[in-house]
Chains A and B, each alone.
Chain A
Amino acid sequence: MTEQALCDAMAEHGGAVYRLALCRMQNDADAEDVYQDVFLRLFQQETETWDSSHIHAWLLRTALNRCADLHRFRLRRPVLSLEDIPEWSGPADDRAAELWDAVARLPEKLRTAVHLHYAEGYSTDEIAGLLEVPSATIRTRLRRARIKLKDLLGGNEDEP
């Protein structure tokens, strides 16, 4: 891949990669390392025939794999609070902080499914393809995640 293509890819997909890494790692320095590693790996690829969605999926899958590698060294995972994210540009909002925190406390598998589905807009089938598990499993994970979130957020909502 050329440098130009790398720039384009970072502009187009960088946000998604960084957010996924942040959601998974719960640590901004780790997320940056994953981001760098993933894009350097992309740079090594011959991507001439890849279209944008192919690159996107490749990046997310590679990011998840890199996150898993790094995770092995962090058995006790701290939770990052929203106000500690330097790149957070949204309003200071208790509701958002609570939601972030609740998602952060979900078990890893559920969290990944929630993130891909809700933040990146992937369908259950697409997530299944990305994680190489059956679609039904993803649907189950999402359902369990919704129940847990409802619980974590105080259960005061009809539709979590």
Chain B
Amino acid sequence: MNHEYHELMENIQVPKELEARVLRAAWKQQRTDTGRRAGRHWKMALRGAVCAACALALVLGTVTFRPKQEPSDGEQSAGVLSGFTYAFGLTAYAADTGETFLPNANGGLAILSGAGLMDPEWGGFTGSLFQVNGEDIQTVSLSINKGGLYRNRLHTGLTEEERLDFYRKMEEHVLPPVSISRDETGMWYLPELEPLGDSVTEDYDPEAQYGFWIPPEELVTEDGLDGPDYVHANVDFFDGAVLTVSVTMKDGTTQTKDYRLSTGRLKVTREADGSCRMLPQLAGGEEPYLYGIYAADQEQSRWFAWPVQGSRTVSLSNPYGARANPGGQGETFHTGIDIPAPEGEVILAAADGTVIETGFDTVRGNYLLLDHGNGLSTLYGQCRNLTAEKGDAVKAGEMLGAVGSTGMSTGPHLHFEVRQDEQPQDPVAYFDSTVRETLTMQ
């Protein structure tokens, strides 16, 4: 009986929403306390409750660094070394687990808002961090057209004296008041936050972590906003901003990249070991998410038009990526997304291109492959019929066929696939925020 009762109780889990509810309540309580007792000011470190429930990944962004094969102008070709220009970009990394977040093939990077700080005196430190990454970089210049940037220095393994010293500096208002936390091994750590203004130029340090900073006068401090909403409202400040990253190489050449930022509920998946992985796609209504900033390389990114008229739904039951087979035997990699739509709904070309293949197979049904140049192609499957033919040049938004259910399928939908150099990519990353915001996942 004793063992049985133990097992019985082990099967009872804490309700999913409860932790977030307590964090929100704690957050509110702390805000009221802070108003009353200025002495507790330094404890006011805020972060989205949902973030916190996800083991507080401090995520740094890293974006792609594929060498460009075709130098486009004099400035860039000066950096050519054996046929390649030096490449640089930004990279994602979770400070607590050491995990790196790879950018998608479309040059997009999800930058999580992790352990941040919203403080009326110091401004908003969104916790959305990134690093500049590349070879032979001499100096780095960063600038942003809205708000500012800050430097994040993680101090780990603090001694008791160091910890007390940081507390003192926070109380003396020398340092922004962040929370000093302990990791699983009992080591104390804290992020030191330093506002940099709207631009900074300095010697390259591959370890340097930069974040997005909101000046105090721009900070949203309305009362009545709940914990996460408050963080989101402030993170949203960067929606539409442009981050310009310029690097000077050791040979004196310079390169510049512009990243357009968008913000939103980015989908996360929980791995078997309990860690979270953030995906560069928006979460559906019920899905776990983290609120973060999504940076897209303006030059490199290629945006698609939505390929189905009359449906803005992405099927949740069969999303892009690996999923366990029903019945638990092995797993299948779904190379695209399914867009459910009524039979006969019009399928549109996602971008300008040439039809290079049409055909039928039992799995994908009637399908069409469209080539967009530079190794990028899209595939449209499960079509009832196709109206474009092999060799046709089509424009974005032109009709290709009609939605059907002609292959291995349980209902009419478009199977939409994006490939870069023959490799399937997550299609959602190829729609910009104006399209992503209109999507629902069901």
Contacts and interface: CB of A to CB of B under 8 A. Distances in A.
A32 B5 contact: no
Given A5-B181, A22-B12, A119 B22 contact: no
A2 B14 CA distance: 21
B contacts with A: majority SS: helix
A7 B26 CA distance: 11
Given A11-B19, A43-B30, 19 more contacts: A2-B180, A3-B26, A3-B27, A3-B45, A3-B179, A7-B19, A8-B182, A10-B14, A14-B14, A14-B18, A32-B18, A35-B18, A39-B26, A87-B14, A96-B8, A117-B2, A118-B9, A149-B1, A160-B1
A4 interface: yes
B45 A89 contact: no
B414 to A, nearest CB: 36
A115 B10 CA distance: 12
A111 to B, nearest CB: 11
A23 B397 CA distance: 60
Contact of B26 (A6, A14, A118): A6
Interface string A2-40: 111111101100110011001100001000100110011
A44 to B, nearest CB: 8
B14 A39 contact: no
Contacts of A86: 15
A154 to B, nearest CB: 12
A-B pairs, 10 with minimum CB distance? A90-B11, A4-B181, A119-B9, A2-B179, A118-B5, A18-B14, A118-B2, A87-B13, A7-B52, A14-B14
B13 A7 contact: no
Nearest to A44: B29
A40 B8 CA distance: 27
A95 B4 contact: yes
A58 interface: no
B56 interface: yes
Nearest to A28: B15
Chain B CB count within 10 A is highest, among A85, A99, A118, for A118
Given A35-B14, A99-B1, A160-B1, A40 B26 contact: yes
B5 A99 contact: yes
Given A7-B53, A15-B14, A43-B29, A159 B8 contact: no
A121 interface: yes
Nearest to B52: A7
A103 to B, nearest CB: 7
A36 B22 contact: yes
Contacts of A5: 181-182
A5 B155 CA distance: 18
Contacts of B115: 4
Contacts of B56: 4, 7
A18 B8 contact: no
A contacts with B: majority SS: helix
A73 interface: no
Interface of B: 1-2, 4-9, 11-15, 18-19, 21-23, 25-27, 29-30, 43, 45-47, 52-53, 55-56, 115, 179-182
B6 A118 contact: yes
Contacts of B22: 6, 10, 35-36, 39-40
Nearest to A121: B6
A23 B6 CA distance: 12
Contacts of B55: 11
A2 B18 contact: no
B396 to A, nearest CB: 46
A60 interface: no
A19 B12 contact: yes
A7 B49 CA distance: 9
Given A3-B26, A7-B56, A14 B5 contact: no
Contacts of B182: 4-5, 8
A4 B127 CA distance: 14
Interface in A35-88: 35-36, 39-40, 43-44, 82, 85-88
10 contacts: A2-B179, A3-B23, A4-B52, A7-B19, A15-B12, A19-B9, A87-B14, A90-B8, A99-B1, A117-B2
Chain A CB count within 10 A is highest, among B4, B13, B14, B15, for B14
A18 B12 contact: yes
A96 B2 CA distance: 12
Contacts of B47: 3
Nearest to B46: A3
Nearest to B180: A2
Contacts of A14: 14, 18-19
